[in-house]
Amino acid sequence: MTGYGDAQGRLNGVNYAVEIRTVNNRYFKANIKLPETVAFLEEEIDKLLRRNLSRGTVHYVLRLKNASANALFEIEEPALRALMERLSQIASSADIKCPIDIGGLLNLPGIINPALPDEKTAEQIKDKVLEISQVAVEKLKQMRAAEGNALEADLKKHCRVMEQALEQIRTRSAVVLKGYAERLKKRVDELLASAQLNLDEETLAKEVAIFAERSDISEEIARLESHLQQLLQSCQSNDQAGRRLDFISQEMLREANTIASKASDVEISHYVVEIKCRIDRIKEQVQNIE
């Protein structure tokens, strides 16, 4: 489910700004971007996100503003000085005249390192960052809740359409059996008349009963109606229902496919196509639900 939340806080003259965005994903996945000076907070931030969010790809970004250079990095002066002296000795011994590019030397590994705060400062930074992160998460959850209300209304609309289609299928299935019996009797009568033979009513009734048992879809209709009720109840639940709705929609599609394979009627097939289209829409939507 998509959402966005942000928050800011200030500590020791430094502004901490948090932005959190989420996009749809069947599972939880966190992408956390932190400045190197506060990289030690990644685990705590991941725990906070997992406590509040269960599905979706979460993009978390923390930015520092107005931080002094001393607060961001440290230059290993002894290593830099030793390196410059060594380069000067090499240039003198080889009689090479070239300026030493200090800017280039700073890019070498181990020359510049992130400035790590002391234990007390680190604890203060952790408390502040987690505090504003929680504020950003709450804003994000409010936005996702608004989207969830819209999704719930859309799911209910699809359920109403499927309920109407199921009622039509139930009514039509009784007509199909009666029509099959009439067509079978008429065709048998025509064949027997041309062959001048007789067929007892009991044999004809057995054939109709076999067709009725083979094409009976009452159980599938009942199960599909039950799945619809479960889906609506899950929408009302305060629990995280995304995965449950995903499973219910799969079971609904299974029942719809069974109805389509057992029902030997064009009109019923049309209703089943409508139901399957609605189920596909539901399957797409529930991927967005936490």
Domain parsing of the chain, residue ranges = 77-106, 149-286
| pLDDT tens column, 18-70 | 999 998 777 888 999 998 888 889 999 999 999 998 878 899 999 988 755 44
pLDDT band (50, 70, 90) for residue 174 = confident
Buried/exposed 145-171: b ≥16 CB within 10 Å, e otherwise: eeebeebeeebeebbeebbebbeebbe
Q: Which residue has the higher pLDDT, 101 or 24?
A: 24
- Using a pLDDT cut of 90, give the percent of the chain over it: 17
Q: H or E stretch including 60?
A: strand 56-65
- The H or E element that residue 4 is part of is strand 3-11
For the sheet with 56-65, list strands across it.
Answer: 3-11, 14-23, 56-65, 28-33
pLDDT for the residue 69: 44
Tokens (6 digits) for 225: 């109606």
* Residue found by looking up tokens 């489910």 in the block: 1
260 neighbors 211 (Cβ within 8 angstroms): no
Instruction: Determine the average pLDDT of the residues in 275-280.
Output: 90
**Taking residues 2-12, what's their average pLDDT?**
88
Q: Model's pTM, two decimal places?
A: 0.59
* Whether residue 257 has pLDDT greater than 80: yes
Given a cut of 70, whether residue 276 has pLDDT beyond it is: yes
Of 274, 6, 287, give the one whose Cα is nearest residue 159.
Answer: 274
Spatial separation of the C-alpha atoms in residues 213 and 285, rounded to whole Å: 36
Cβ proximity of 2 and 80 under 8 Å: no
Mean pLDDT on 104-113: 63
Residue 244 · residue 250 · CB < 8 Å: no
pLDDT reported for residue 127: 93
